[in-house]
Chains A and B, each alone.
Chain A
Amino acid sequence: MIELVAGKYNYWIYIVLMMIGFYAMIAKENLIKKVIGINIFQAAVFLFYVSMAKVTGGTAPIEWHEAHVYDNPLPHALMLTGIVVSVSTTAVALALIIRIYGAYGTMEEDRILEINEGRDMGDTL
């Protein structure tokens, strides 16, 4: 049991962080908080990739006469791309929020839904 918790603590952290982000994305009413949720959610996945690349006793994959074992550099490279995607998503989301705030005067989702329903918009199933 201790082995399962302490030996793989990095994966537990990833799961907990991911759930926090996921919860914020779905349950929070404030749009900015949703975007923060996106960021936590994606950062958790980045941590998962990076910790998967760790080799016990490994060093950075740079040629060095004392090193025999290197960490796997591929997940690191993938996550550079992942971070770019995450930044772009955040940028688009924030740009949308600015426009939403301009159009509705609020960033609370329940408030926006009320405003929309006030003007007949059909069902929102």
Chain B
Amino acid sequence: MDSVNNLPVLVVIIPLLSAILTPIIGRIIRSAGWYMTVVATFTVFMMALSLLFSVLDGGAISYSLGGWEPPWGIEYVVDYISGFVMVVVSLLAFIVAVYARRSVELEIAEDKASFFYAAYLLFLTGLMGMTITGDMFNLYVFVEITSLAVYALIAMGKRREALIASFNYLILGTIAGTFILIGVGYLYMATGTLNMADLRRLLPALYNTTLVRTAFAFFTVGLSLKLALFPFHIWLPNAYTQAPSVVSAFVAATATKVGAYVLMRIMFNVFTVRFNMEVIPVTSILLALSSLAIIAGSVIAISQTNIKRMLAYSSIGQIGYIVFGVAIANDTAVTGSIVHIFNHALMKGSLFMVVGAVVYRTGIEDIAGLKGMGKKMPFTMAAFTIGALSMIGVPLTVGFVSKWYLILGALEAHMWYLVPVVLISSLLTAVYFWRVVESIYFHHTDGEESIHCVSSMNEAPAIMTIPAFLLAFFCILFGIAAFLPVSVASTAAKMLLGVV
């Protein structure tokens, strides 16, 4: 019974302890790292699920660390939205961890594998902490844990460009982190508290002070850098392209989403909708930036030749969608954003895992090199096609659900002029994914090439294809049974916006 009450802290502590133990045990048993990671991520996923269910049953859970009552001690809060995001993050962490084994064997030196898994678990620790914490300074610490783990993970890429990509991200990530720290300092100076719920109570009286407005500006810029909102996205394409396949899949599916979640928390839960719309017109600024991100991400993706880089630019567009819904700031649009956190994690996770499987079998990262791959790796390519259809937003896939809610939200807010942004971007998405799907299925290998390649089936190992396929299956399952995530997301949105 006691351990059930301590679940909120265990979802952070279990990956943290496993991260410390993994390299130690990995020294004795070489292959232990993978097993420990799978077990740890699965445990965390189950705990996150049970936390979400207990929130659905009995409302939000507040946990005081070390028995210190909030607002003096650090508080962990599990409510609809943090429970939901934790389930998404830990689900992806588990599925990618299962997938990781063969890919890591190929891409990471054997003696470094256990350190790789340690960094992977540290990264999960940071993400879970960012999601669950109700304390501003604690948030900063978890942001930095996440960032440090990601720098290490990206730097493990095969090519030397990975080192530069990692270093550039380190510079920008540190600027982002320190901006958040400055914002926390200003809020503490204004109110004398670090607890989010307490801040929400104390801040409205101070909305007109420069100090509080400056604090908000620092948060917005810092978090925009972290979640790679256009034009703060410069670090992302190189980082995603150069990182090992496993890292691309995991980071693309989770890191920026958690950043978006923190943005929602600070915009709607620490500050209020009124502040965002009336005191500083931040929603209009974010609306403009996210519309630009949606279009620019898709346009730049069209011209890419490297498939990982194409997916990275497409991520920038998809992050645009999440911020777009946040910026419209009514409950339908925010529902769309929250659902899109889940949906995009499924789609991008699946797509990057497929690319990782192709790299594992053939070493090809160029779109042109995928010719005739539909015959060689039919299952993997089927997963890719489902992911691509979902990204375009074809009905019966998850991509359709989130776009539907975003468009409905825009119409409810009487911003009909935003609807074309979503529609044009879907069209552009169709263009750049069609290019890939076309070369997979409709280009026959030329005579010259067929001498080199065996045209018979040459699937990636099952341990890689099954996780990718599972996520692709979820894309359809939750596209049809959309009410499951949407019902949680809409309650979460209403609570965030204070409608209920």
Which residues of A does B touch, CB under 8 Å? 22, 25-26, 31, 34, 38, 41-42, 45, 48-49, 52, 74-75, 78, 81-82, 85, 88-89, 92-93, 96-97, 99-100, 103-104, 112, 116, 121-122, 124-125
Contacts and interface: CB of A to CB of B under 8 A. Distances in A.
A75 B137 CA distance: 10
B182 A45 contact: yes
A96 B182 contact: no
Contacts of B161: 116, 121
Contacts of A49: 185
A51 to B, nearest CB: 10
A122 B306 contact: yes
A67 B350 CA distance: 63
B155 A116 contact: no
B422 interface: no
A92 B152 contact: yes
Nearest to B168: A109
A22 B175 contact: yes
Contacts of B163: 96, 99-100, 103
B166 interface: yes
A96 B309 contact: no
14 contacts: A25-B171, A25-B175, A74-B188, A78-B137, A85-B140, A92-B151, A92-B170, A96-B167, A96-B170, A99-B163, A100-B167, A112-B164, A122-B305, A122-B309
Interface in B172-206: 174-175, 177-178, 181-182, 185, 188-189
A100 B168 CA distance: 12
Contact of B171 (A38, A45, A81, A124): A38
Contacts of A124: 238
A99 B155 contact: yes
A77 to B, nearest CB: 9
Is chain A's binding surface mostly helix, strand, loop or mixed?
A: helix
A97 B167 contact: yes
Interface in B94-147: 137, 140-141, 144
A62 to B, nearest CB: 20
B178 A45 contact: yes
A75 B136 CA distance: 13
Nearest to B193: A74
A37 to B, nearest CB: 8
A104 B185 contact: no
B334 to A, nearest CB: 31
B137 A81 contact: yes
B237 A89 contact: no
A74 to B, nearest CB: 8
B393 to A, nearest CB: 25
Residue of B137, B182, B185, B304 with most partner-chain A CB within 10 A: B185
Contacts of A89: 144, 148, 170, 174
Contact of A52 (B152, B185, B305): B185
Nearest to B237: A125
